[in-house]
Amino acid sequence: MAVMNVNPTRMQLSKLKKQLTTAVRGHKMLKDKRDELMRQFLDLVRETKELREKVESEIENCNAHFVNASAVMSKQSLDASLISPKQQVNIETNTRNVMSVDIPEFVSKPRTSDSSDVFPYGFAFTSFELDDAIVSLNNVLPDLIRLAQYEKSCELMSAEIEKTRRRVNSLEHVMIPRYQDTIKYIAMKLEENDRSSRTRLMKVKDMLLDKAHNYSGKQ
């Protein structure tokens, strides 16, 4: 029996009963939170898996274009074409609260709105395979940023689920049984003390009656 080291008094019994009620209510709230977090986490994991497969396919396609470009262009020409990028992408980070978890939100914004700025070279001395590689890389970038957002969100939600699970288990298997066992112990001690008090009172009564009337109260 996991009993707390407390004085077995009625005041302590009332206090522990209130704490038990609070612990049971907190246990239910944490279980609901854990279940909802798990539901949203699994939905996010499915979306992340689909997005990762899409990104991996797009990157594979992009790499194929670069391989083709390197096959028809010399390494010096390829390096010179890509050495001075014109476009720049800025990423703004925000957070969104989901069940007390601040998950990130990434918003990408190009420095200029001109779509031709993704090409850091002129078209006179480059191959169309390089153009296709640059276009495919530009197209995969938003999905890549969104994938980073999803995976970081999964990481944070997973940590919160584990923390909530530990709290639920602690309440369910340690704190609540300890409160219940201690309340039961104090109630038994109080009943025992009440029986002892009644026995002593009856003995005192018998002694007083016998002294006053020479009568012990027994037939």
And the tokens for 47?
A: 């979306």
Look at residue 84 and tell me if it is in a domain: yes
Q: How much is the pTM?
A: 0.76
Give 151-191 pLDDT, tens digit per residue: 999 999 999 999 999 999 999 999 999 999 999 999 988 88
Closest alpha carbon to 55 in 119, 157, 128, 149 = 149
* For the chain, percent of residues with pLDDT exceeding 90: 50
CA distance 142 to 218: 96
Please indicate, yes or no, if residue 205 is contained in any of the structural domains: no
Number of domains in the chain: 1
The answer to whether residues 103 and 157 touch, using CB atoms and an 8 Å cutoff, is yes
Sign of CA dihedral 180, 181, 184, 189: negative
149 in any annotated domain: yes
- CA dist., res. 86 & res. 203, Å (int): 103
Spatial contact of 106 and 91, defined as CB atoms under 8 Å apart: yes
In a domain, 8, yes or no: no
Task: Show Cβ contacts of residue 151 under 8 Å, excluding neighbours closer than 6 positions.
Answer: 48
How far apart, in whole angstroms, are the C-alpha atoms of residue 109 and residue 89?
A: 6
The domain that holds 150 is classified in CATH as: 1.10.287.3240
pLDDT in tens, 47-63: 999 999 999 999 999 99
Section 121-138 average pLDDT: 84
Q: Is residue 58 part of a domain?
A: yes
> Is 90 exceeded by the pLDDT of residue 22?
yes
201 part of a folded domain: no
Residue 167 domain-assigned (yes or no)? no
